[in-house]
A and B are shown apart, each in its own frame.
Chain A
């Protein structure tokens, strides 16, 4: 449970880089751009920093590190509200490829993600189960390959991605199939959603007789049930780490504010009513951080999928609740300015609400955990 020197280096480098390129002003500028991020920053992340290959095996051109390192990066990304297709490329697409795709697709696509040349994305489910996104998308075999019809409600960063990964149901099959396709595929319409949280872009995808070649289906069917669960668990862990960073920044912003804002002749942070609320935020953040670090350590072992899924759900439950609590407290403890556009708490508050249903709500995750405990 102790950060190694390499891990500390990774975290510190991310903190310093993002402090520069993802300041409040930079985030606001990125939000206003049509693509929702600064392409120059995203290019540096991909090429100069090599973050996309961090958790990809060396055999596929990555650094071969894993969840314990990736969560450190993601925490900093959350803390600085990084606007970039990093989560969609690494935590959704690369993760799905690593867990679910067959070897030839892995060998074809993972090196492109690792070296930064491919930006990819995948469907974001609104339940803890990734397979749920296949309910509204049907794949049929055709003479020339596959045809996809239906829709995917939310795909992050689809407008700028070079590759989309979607799960679709196949008649007669118990497990959904994984397809890789270009966003420019004929019959695919991407419609950008205008979201209150402008730090992450989402598209709705409508598929009308989208014809794909046979090798567009890339899952390894023999292991897809367990593998898909594992991929979803890891995605939850990664989102948990990002949410943890958001919560931490809400606390840091708040402590800095209440330590300087004077009322009744002293800093408002000297009043117990305020101090105790800040302390409450820290308790939730540190306990959630322990959950994230612990689950990430477990992910680095050969833990069985059920244990891993439970720990990742735990990390997500704790960080989801903590993230919203801290965003709400940040607004309250900033007083009037906490409600303004100019101050940052609103950005974290919007992100907290937007993220509250990615891979399922905390309530849905708790329902899954209780099922595992009581069955």
Chain B
């Protein structure tokens, strides 16, 4: 496919550089994790993928969007897009370090103290310290501000955390967790929260994996029983936790979406492969659905380019607002199409790499429309922010 993308000469040189580096390094042992990892496939050889993170770091390919002063590569937006595209096109393994790199790191750069930056940014950049995100709780899902986990400060200034987090991706593979916890007793909603950084390996934290419908365990429950955070490991002031937590989610959008779409394109091509293999290429109904999926893929790509064309007010722009709902539902449909392409073969637990991948896609994509804002929450946001329709009733914050 030809692309409508004006490219500067230095951008094309940069593209050649990342392509050459990946070609020289994403080989040998790492062949085993090409196109592996990422949501729905996080169980794929975490040990090797950690090593890969360090390989990337040695090449200077972690934290490419961070400012140079903070240890990043300081790439322009255009070059970050190229990086994500080429990484995904080459089948770069799902990034174990993405929570630290894309969520916590930018938050520390924006709101962290010099000591926090000095302590945490190098480990994220080097691929030696991995992070997970402790937001959701059993009673704080869509209603994320209904956090019940408590925290309090001891006489020595350290913080203690008591409560439970849930749906914590990769907690079992991580070294640190950032949590929002209630520091003002009796406060409600988004007021009275603190944003704390805790090492996971401590006696007062226990992690229990949640077995998913497809059998994998990428999510966990994390229990805090008076777990300790050092005095200096609170980001922002006590009470500012919600602001930090929401600001961090802003970082989650945008640049990596083009990489995500390369990954989707790869999955779409797997579905075409399966269709050819199963001899169903002449099935008119399946062909209609394949074409529809391809149209959605193209629209998503152009949608992402629209979002990136003007990031100034990305959070308010219509194309940014619809994106999560669009991609997650598209992906879920692709999973169902994959199963229908396989036919009865789809029902048999398989070690065939192609079938196995498609089965994982089918099952895991059911989570896409639930995590990071369910379909229903997305529709509320779109109607309220995009169309100005009346807001849902919200409890008054105490």
Residues of A within 8 A of B (CB): 1-2, 251, 255, 258-259, 266-267, 269-270, 272, 274-276, 278-280, 282-283, 286-291, 293-295, 297-298, 300-301, 303-304, 307-308, 310-311, 313-314, 317-318, 363, 365-371, 373-374
Q: Which residues of B contact A366 (CB under 8 A)?
A: 287-288, 291-292, 295
| Residues of B within 8 A of A (CB-CB), count | 47
Assess the B302–A1 pair: CB atoms within 8 A: yes
Would A287 and B383 be within 8 Å (CB), given that A303-B2, A367-B288 are in contact? no
A272-B380, A275-B384, A278-B389 are known contacts; what are 7 more A-B pairs with Cβ within 8 Å? Answer: A259-B389, A269-B389, A282-B382, A290-B319, A293-B306, A366-B295, A370-B287
Task: Evaluate whether A279 and B298 lie within 8 angstroms (CB atoms) in the complex, with A2-B310, A374-B272 already known.
Answer: no
Given contacts A290-B306, A373-B291, A374-B275, contact A314 B298 (CB under 8 A): yes
CA distance A255 to B322 in the complex (A): 17
Q: Is the Cβ of B309 less than 8 Å from the Cβ of A275?
A: no
Query: Does B50 belong to the interface (CB within 8 Å)?
Result: no
Instruction: Tell me, yes or no, whether B390 is within 8 Å of chain A by CB.
Output: yes
Considering only residues 306-355 of chain B, those with a C-beta below 8 Å from chain A are 306, 308-310, 318-319, 321-322, 325-326
Asked if B309 contacts A2 (CB within 8 A), the reply is: yes
Decide if B299 touches A301 in the complex (CB within 8 Å).
no
Other-chain residue from A287, A363, A370 in contact with B299 (beta carbon distance below 8 A):
A287
Q: Please name all residues of chain A whose beta carbon is closer than 8 Å to the beta carbon of B3 when the two chains form the complex.
A: 298
A297 to B2, CA, bound (A): 11
Q: With A275-B383, A286-B303, A287-B322 as known contacts, state yes or no: A255 contacts B288, CB within 8 Å.
A: no
The CA of A303 and the CA of B308, in the complex, are separated in Å by: 22
Cβ-defined contact, A363 with B288, below 8 A: yes
Could you tell me the dominant secondary structure of chain A's interface residues?
helix
Question: In the complex, are the beta carbons of B322 and A283 less than 8 A apart?
Answer: yes
In the assembled complex, 8 residue pairs joining A and B whose CB atoms fall closer than 8 Å, in A order, are A272-B379, A275-B379, A278-B389, A282-B382, A290-B300, A307-B1, A373-B294, A374-B287
**Which residues on A sit within 8 Å (CB–CB) of B290?**
370, 373-374
- A274–B383 Cα distance when bound, in Å, is 9
- Whether A291 contacts B383 by the Cβ 8 Å rule is no
Of the residues A255, A266, A291, A300, contact of B302 by C-beta under 8 Å: A291
Most chain A C-beta atoms within 10 Å of own C-beta, residue among B380, B382, B388? B382
B2 partner residues in chain A, CB cutoff 8 A? 298, 301, 303-304, 307-308
Known: A293-B306, A374-B290. A282 touches B298 (CB 8 A): no
In the complex, whether B284 has a CB less than 8 A from a CB of chain A is yes
Do the beta carbons of B295 and A314 come within 8 Å of each other?
A: yes
Q: How far is the CA of A308 from the CA of B321 in the complex (A)?
A: 28
Residue on B nearest A308 in the bound complex, by CB: B2
Residues of B within 8 A of A286 (CB): 303, 318-319, 321-322
Q: Is the CB of B302 within 8 A of A293?
A: yes
| Cα A310 to Cα B380 with chains together (Å) | 34
On whether A369 and B326 interact (CB within 8 A), knowing A282-B318, A303-B2, the answer reads no
Which residues of B, 361-397, contact A by the 8 Å Cβ criterion?
376, 378-380, 382-384, 386-390, 392
> B46 on the interface (CB 8 Å rule)?
no
- B301 in contact (CB, < 8 A): yes
Q: Determine the chain A residues whose CB is within 8 A of the CB of B1 once the complex forms.
A: 307, 310
Q: Is B146 an interface residue (CB 8 A)?
A: no
B390 touches A317 (CB 8 A): no
Report the bound CA distance from A313 to B1 in whole Å.
14
